Amino acid sequence: MGCYLQEYRARIGAWAARFSSCGTPAPSASLSENGAAAGAAALCATTIAVLLLIGGVEPNPGPEVEVNAIRILCSGCNNNLKSGKQCELCGLWYHASCGKNGDMDNGKWFCSKCKESRVRQLEEKQKAALLQIQELELKRISGGETWSCYSRRRRTANCTGANCEKPILVIGVSIVRHVGNVNKHMDVVCLPGIRPEQLRRYVENRDVGTPDTVIVHVDTNDLRRRNPDFIMGDMGDLVTKAQEKFPEAKTYISGILRRRGIPWRRVDVVNRMYEWVAQRRNVFFVDQYSWLQDGDFGRDRLHLNRSGSTKLGGLFSRIGGPKLPATSS
């Protein structure tokens, strides 16, 4: 590898000293002698250049200029980054080790900060969607013509005189769907999967008549994922709204039933809380946990069969409605 020349004479050394006298004309030389001297100088310069090229000596290219290179730093450790991951949302780069807390979604990688932001946004969207679903569900449930609404209007139109008795209103989840078959004075509003806070809004905004007895039955839809204390608070708000809507009616809280996948101890705790709410709100509590047996449930172990619906309907009729006629044996 050839060396770079800093100064011409310093690099050629003895070669410059050896050939320097060839191109220097004498002071008293004639014109022809001066021309010969100039030719000799040119020959010396050519010879020196050829020798330098053969020896591998390169001309000095001048001072070196440093080119500004683009450096990418890791946003996690602030060190130089040769390879890594880029966040799809904020565009920052991370080492693979610094970005291990990120999240991969549909082939796109997001850093931990953007991941938390996306989670909050998704949670807000989920809450808004759930509220919208609940409102649509209430509209769907209350907008249609149910047999209970039709039977209530038909009985009200034909009801005259002192023999007209006010009905029993049973409002709750799908487990009370067929309990009204026992008593013609029992109106059943079946709202599958409804929760206490949804049922409170339903009672507040819908016209369900002027019953003499109101029985509220909310099952274990929230029992698996919610704290029983919150369920008790929602039930208290529901009972308060029912008392405001039906000030002349007797209000009953129907205890929850056994259900597959939920320990009986948890069911017992919630029923005790419901009983406490009933005492605090000056209403009544119906404990039908021991009233029904395993054979009164259907194959899914969630809903009542015909026998169970008859038993539960008979219990509701005894506590709030007219006495059933005696059956002949």
pLDDT of residue 141: 54
The DSSP string of 71-92 is --B-TTT--B-SS-EE-TTT--
> How far out from the chain centre does Cα 101 lie?
18
CA end-to-end span of the chain, whole Å? Answer: 122
**Which domains, and CATH codes, for the chain?**
8-55 (no CATH), 71-137 (3.30.40), 166-320 (3.40.50.1110)
Parts of the chain with a pLDDT under 70: 1-36, 51-71, 83, 88, 91, 97, 99-107, 134, 137-166, 220-222, 224, 289, 321-329
pLDDT of residue 131: 74
pLDDT of residue 53: 65
Long-range interactions of 290-296: CB distance < 8 A, separation 24+: 291/315, 292/257, 292/258
Q: Which two tokens stand for residue 87?
A: 């966040």
The pair phi, psi for residue 62, each rounded to 5°, is 100, 180
CA distances to 52, 254, 258, 262 from 291, in Å:
115, 12, 11, 19
The CA angle 303-139-150, to the nearest 5 degrees, is: 70
Whole-model pTM over 0.95: no
pLDDT of residue 230: 83
Q: Work out the number of other CB atoms within 10 angstroms of the CB of residue 190.
A: 21
d(CA 2, CA 7): 15
103 forms beta bridges with 110
Alpha helices, H only, the chain: 8-12, 14-19, 31-55, 112-143, 147-158, 196-205, 228-245, 264-281, 306-320
